[in-house]
């Protein structure tokens, strides 16, 4: 049975080009880039080449503004915890109610240690209440962390407007761009963004590598101490094969941006329209205009999303009900609850997220199987 993978916001397959680029650093070029001898030192130029490729994808003015980490979660922790601890108290930490746990977690960590925390609402389309943001940033020095694009709905937030508001009142602005990098164009050097997180495995690099953009002049205290690596911002010998892989993945993502926003978006739209046409009682969650080109989140009234996923899985189709980091929880999505999605629909939501590796045949397979599954579950539902 062929696997149809439409869960690319959870993770992506490693690109062939990435794997090939990593291999020499798992075999012959295994030296420590900090070594004084040639055998180790020769590796350092490959780390710096990867840094330049990451900087190019996000539009950083200087590659030295890129710090390599182990993942997007570490990047978010370094930005929020390290950023807050580098600023004097009192400090107001501002975020939204629809952030990934990798952002809400460190925000609550700071709240437990005496920092004031505010979580902003979103409306029924998942768009941020920027009026409330204005009120909060006026109340004192702040560190604001708002995601660039939501991992469950794909809704894109106005990061330029948010950053301008935060800066107007002297605050620092971080954005979790894990889902946005490589899917939409960005140029941080021209945006009021102080820190930006990204993750390798969301853009066809391996799991275990990420990066944090830190605009020159932004103060951050390191979370990992004990070494000089990454200009003192993150101790520990560099994960050279994965860093090289991330660099190649960023290079590929930059070359495929137009494909993401043309072919992938067209497949997403055909999938979405096909589901809405074939499955009465279904609805798209989130702002349909300001959305990542690869993501759709659809609710089906009166049936459980987990049941849909299990029946899709039996047919070789991989999707999700939301964040993979919240899998196993019986609670409905905090994102959809914040959007006030009706109770009849909030438990029956499915996220489909595509990549450039998907094909029209994948979309056909979902459109063939999903309506039959929805109809069968409705026949069994005591609520219909």
d(CA 115, CA 108) in angstroms, rounded, equals 9
The verdict on 207 and 347 lying in the same domain is no
Which residues share a beta bridge with 196? 175, 213
Given a contact cutoff of 8 angstroms between Cβ atoms, the answer to whether 172 and 194 are in contact is yes
Q: What is the pLDDT of residue 140?
A: 84
List pLDDT tens digits, range 64-96.
Answer: 999 999 999 999 999 999 999 999 788 999 999
pLDDT of 381 above 80: no
230, 234, 347 from 32: Cα distances, Å: 14, 16, 49
Which residues share a beta bridge with 119? 95
Q: What is the pLDDT of residue 236?
A: 96
Tokens for 273, please give them: 């329209």
List the domain range (segments joined by +) for residue 160: 16-252
Given a contact cutoff of 8 angstroms between Cβ atoms, the answer to whether 52 and 63 are in contact is yes
The verdict on 210 and 352 lying in the same domain is no
The verdict on 32 and 181 lying in the same domain is yes
Given a contact cutoff of 8 angstroms between Cβ atoms, the answer to whether 193 and 215 are in contact is yes
In the sheet that holds 349-353, the strands lie side by side as 282-284, 295-300, 349-353
The verdict on 161 and 57 lying in the same domain is yes
The verdict on 275 and 348 lying in the same domain is yes
Which residues share a beta bridge with 175? 196
Q: What is the pLDDT of residue 335?
A: 96
The verdict on 242 and 303 lying in the same domain is no
Among left, alpha and beta (phi > 0; psi -120 to 50; other), residue 232 is left
Domain end position, chosen among 233, 252, 271: 252
Domain end position, chosen among 219, 252, 285: 252
Q: Write the DSSP symbol of residue 103.
A: H
Q: What is the pLDDT of residue 337?
A: 94
Query: pLDDT band at 325, cuts 50/70/90?
Result: low
Q: What is the mean pLDDT of the chain?
A: 95
DSSP-derived 3-state class of residue 312: helix
The verdict on 143 and 268 lying in the same domain is no
List pLDDT tens digits, range 205-238.
Answer: 999 999 999 999 999 999 999 999 999 999 999 9
The verdict on 188 and 274 lying in the same domain is no
Domain end position, chosen among 220, 252, 284: 252
Given a contact cutoff of 8 angstroms between Cβ atoms, the answer to whether 197 and 176 are in contact is yes
Catalytic residue among 71, 279, 318, 325: 325
pLDDT of 195 above 70: yes
Is residue 71 part of the annotated active site? The answer reads: no
pLDDT of 327 above 60: no
The verdict on 115 and 241 lying in the same domain is yes
The verdict on 188 and 54 lying in the same domain is yes
Domain count, the chain: 2
CATH number at residue 360: 3.90.1150.10
d(CA 92, CA 303) in angstroms, rounded, equals 41
Q: What is the pLDDT of residue 279?
A: 96
d(CA 268, CA 292) in angstroms, rounded, equals 10
CATH number at residue 48: 3.40.640.10
The verdict on 226 and 289 lying in the same domain is no
pLDDT of 114 above 70: yes
The verdict on 332 and 263 lying in the same domain is yes
List pLDDT tens digits, range 274-320.
Answer: 999 999 999 999 999 999 999 999 999 999 999 999 999 999 999 99
DSSP-derived 3-state class of residue 156: strand
Q: What is the pLDDT of residue 326?
A: 55
Tokens for 256, please give them: 């495929």
User: The whole model's pTM is what?
Assistant: 0.96
Given a contact cutoff of 8 angstroms between Cβ atoms, the answer to whether 130 and 120 are in contact is no
């Amino acid at each position: 049975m062929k696997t149809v993978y439409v869960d690319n916001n959870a993770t992506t397959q490693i690109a062939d080009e990435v794997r090939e680029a990593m291999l020499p650093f798992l075999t012959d070029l295994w030296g420590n880039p900090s070594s004084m001898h040639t055998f180790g030192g020769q590796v350092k130029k490959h780390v710096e080449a990867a840094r330049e490729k990451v900087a190019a994808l996000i539009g950083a003015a200087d590659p030295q503004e890129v710090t390599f980490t182990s993942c997007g979660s570490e990047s978010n922790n370094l930005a929020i915890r390290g950023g807050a601890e580098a600023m004097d108290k009192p400090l107001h930490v501002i975020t939204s109610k629809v952030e990934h746990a990798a952002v809400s977690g460190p925000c609550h960590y700071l709240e437990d240690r005496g920092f004031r925390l505010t979580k902003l609402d979103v409306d029924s389309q998942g768009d941020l209440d920027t009026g409330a943001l204005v009120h909060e940033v006026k109340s004192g020095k702040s560190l604001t962390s708002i995601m660039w694009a939501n991992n469950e709905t794909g809704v894109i937030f106005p990061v330029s407007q948010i950053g301008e508001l935060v800066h107007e009142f002297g605050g620092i602005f971080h954005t979790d761009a894990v889902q946005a990098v490589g899917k939409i164009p960005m140029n941080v050097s021209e945006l009021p963004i102080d820190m930006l997180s990204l993750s390798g495995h969301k853009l066809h690099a391996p799991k275990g590598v990420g990066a944090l953009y830190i605009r020159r002049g932004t103060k951050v205290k390191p979370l990992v101490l004990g070494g000089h690596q990454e200009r003192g911002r993150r101790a520990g010998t560099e994960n050279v094969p994965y860093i090289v892989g991330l660099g190649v993945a960023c290079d590929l993502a930059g070359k495929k941006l137009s494909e993401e926003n043309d072919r992938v978006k067209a497949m997403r739209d055909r999938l979405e329209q096909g589901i809405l046409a074939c499955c009465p009682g279904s609805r798209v969650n989130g702002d349909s205009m300001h959305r990542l080109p690869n993501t759709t989140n659809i609710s089906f009234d009166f049936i459980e999303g987990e049941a849909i996923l299990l029946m899709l899985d039996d047919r070789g189709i991989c999707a999700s009900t939301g964040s993979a980091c919240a899998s196993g929880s019986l609670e409905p999505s905090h994102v959809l609850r914040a959007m006030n999605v009706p109770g009849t629909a909030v438990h029956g939501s499915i996220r489909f997220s595509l990549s450039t590796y998907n094909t029209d045949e994948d979309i056909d397979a979902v459109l063939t199987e999903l309506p039959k599954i929805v109809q069968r579950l409705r026949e069994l539902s005591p609520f219909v």
